[in-house]
Structures are given as C-alpha cells and as structure tokens.
Amino acid sequence: MKFRNKLLLLAAFAAALGVGACSSPTAQIALKRAHLTSQKPHYVAAEQFKAAEFAPPPAPESEAQKADLAITLDWQNKRTEADCAKARLTANFDYDSFWGEKSPFPRPLPGEVKEFFDRLTLDLDSSVSVMKNRYERQRPFNAYPEAVKPCVKKSGGYSYPSGHSTFSRVFADVLTDIVPGRKAEFFAKADEIAQDRVIGGVHFATDIAAGKVFGDEFHADLLKSPEYLKDIEKMKALLVK
C-alpha cells in the first residue's frame, strides 16, 4: 500500500473507527500520528514500496488517459444527487461511514480494536504516501479543471493509487481475516466505497483499480507479519458474541 498524509484520513478510521478524516484529520488524530510515526513500522515497512514493481498510471494525454477521462465525464453526466450524497458520506472515511451495520465488533468499539486499527492505519498511510509520491498523478479536477466538476469535497495530494480504494480493500481483507464467512459483503462494500470516488469526480477509474491491486499486495505482506497474525487472533476474541 502507499499513501500517507491524505491517508491520515484512515488514522481517523483507526483512531475511533468512527471518527471522520478524509483530507482534514482532527487535531487529536494528528497528535496521535505525530507521536506514533516516530516509531518503527508495526507490521509492514513502507520503504520497500519505493522500488517495488507496480504498473504506473496512464501517461498524460495518452489514449488510456483519455479513456480514463471519458469514464469520469460519463459519471459526471449521469450521476444523480443521491449518488453524490452517498459519495459524500463515504468520503468522510470513518468507520461508521465505511462499515456501519456491517461492523463485526460491539459498540462502543473496544479499546484494543481501536489500537489495532491505529497501528494498521499508520503503516498503510505511510505506504500509500510512498506510492502516490512515486507517480505524482494529478487528480481529474486538477488535470482537467474546465471539464471535471466534483460533487464531493476536493481532496488534496496525488491521485494514484486511490487512498479510499486502497484502504477499503485492505480493511475488507483484514475484516475477512477476522470473519472469513463475511468476505463477500466486506468486499462488496469496499468496491462501493472505491467507486464513489469516481462518481464524485475526485479519482480516475485506473486509480481505483490500482488501489485494489495495491491493497491486496499490502495485505499479502501483512500475512507475513507474526505480530499481525497474533493481533488477528486477539481481534477474533473481541467480536460480537
């Protein structure tokens, strides 16, 4: 995975698994992150992704880029206000907006669960940032300001891979590790969250596809971490009975 600042949005997902933080994390989350990022990675080191093999985004003004833009504009022309309202909800990037009634944990969320997702978020945030900075792809509304008109709040930072797509994919993977029998619904929801970013006009379709690929790659590295595997067993003991 690769994201960092913008994906502090997920520090929100972790910090309360219920606190919003898309492109503007809360002061509390920012302070927590400043403290925790001085430590070593918990499960997966971001540095490895600086040179890891990964397909780049379409080149500017290439045929593939034009096709990407066409998809964005098609959604812009056919989306409804209800579509935009839903995209604005998932743009909050908090636990309830992402999973809501699908959450397998009791409420209020146990402290150990919050701490687990804090650790995971910090590793993932740093990794996504590495990847975004590696490719420096402009978002649709920056690359084509006269044509693309988002209906959700504009996000800062680069576009490839999508942070929402990456994070939702990783958390679907993680929740599946905890509750294997609910894999289909976790992944269906993650796909919805990712697609909302194209509908909202803040990502290209290839950003979304790349986020899913990267999410699965990051998860594959998580499975190599003894610490992660131990924590997954702890999370299973904290599920709703």
Domains of the chain, first to last:
6-236 (1.20.144.10)
Going by pLDDT thresholds of 50, 70 and 90, the confidence category of residue 94 is low
- Measure CA 209 to chain center: 12
Q: Average pLDDT of 54-70?
A: 96
pLDDT tens profile 71-85? 999 999 999 999 999
Which token pair is 126? 């740093």
pLDDT of residue 236: 97
Residue 225 has pLDDT above 90, yes or no: yes
Residue 223 has pLDDT above 90, yes or no: yes
Dist. CA 31–CA 50, nearest whole Å: 26
Buried-state track 172-182, b at ≥16 Cβ within 10 A, e below 16: bbbbbbbbeee
pLDDT tens profile 9-54? 343 333 333 333 333 333 334 444 444 444 688 999 999 999 999 9
pLDDT of residue 23: 37
Percent of the chain with pLDDT over 90: 71
pLDDT of residue 28: 39
pLDDT of residue 39: 61
Residue 114 has pLDDT above 50, yes or no: yes
Give start and end residues of each alpha helix (H) in 80-157: 81-90, 95-98, 111-135, 140-143
Range of weakest confidence among 9-18, 56-65, 181-190:
9-18
pLDDT of residue 8: 38
Buried-state track 10-34, b at ≥16 Cβ within 10 A, e below 16: bbbbbbbbbbbbbbebbeebeebbe
Range of weakest confidence among 25-34, 51-60, 161-170:
25-34
Roughly how many angstroms between the first and final C-alpha of the chain, as a whole number?
32
